[in-house]
Amino acid sequence: MATGLQEGEIRQALQEGGRIRNVLVVTTGIGRAVEHLAYLRASWRRDFLPLRTWNDRTDRTYRDFDRLLTLIRVDFGFAGCIPVYIAGDPELARYKALAPALAATGSLPLD
State the distance between the two ends of the chain, measured CA to CA, in whole angstroms. 39
Q: Residue 90: what pLDDT?
A: 87
Name residues whose C-beta falls within 8 Å of residue 74's C-beta, 6 or more positions apart in sequence: none
* Residue 74, SS3 per DSSP: helix
Residue pLDDT, tens place only, 39-81: 999 999 888 899 999 888 899 999 999 999 999 999 999 999 9
Q: Residue 101: what pLDDT?
A: 55
Q: Please count the residues of the chain.
A: 111
Under 8 Å between Cβ of 106 and 87: yes
pLDDT above 80: residue 109: no
Q: Residue 97: what pLDDT?
A: 62
Residue pLDDT, tens place only, 10-41: 999 999 999 999 999 999 998 889 999 999 99
Q: How far is it, in rounded angstroms, from Cα 64 to Cα 80?
A: 20
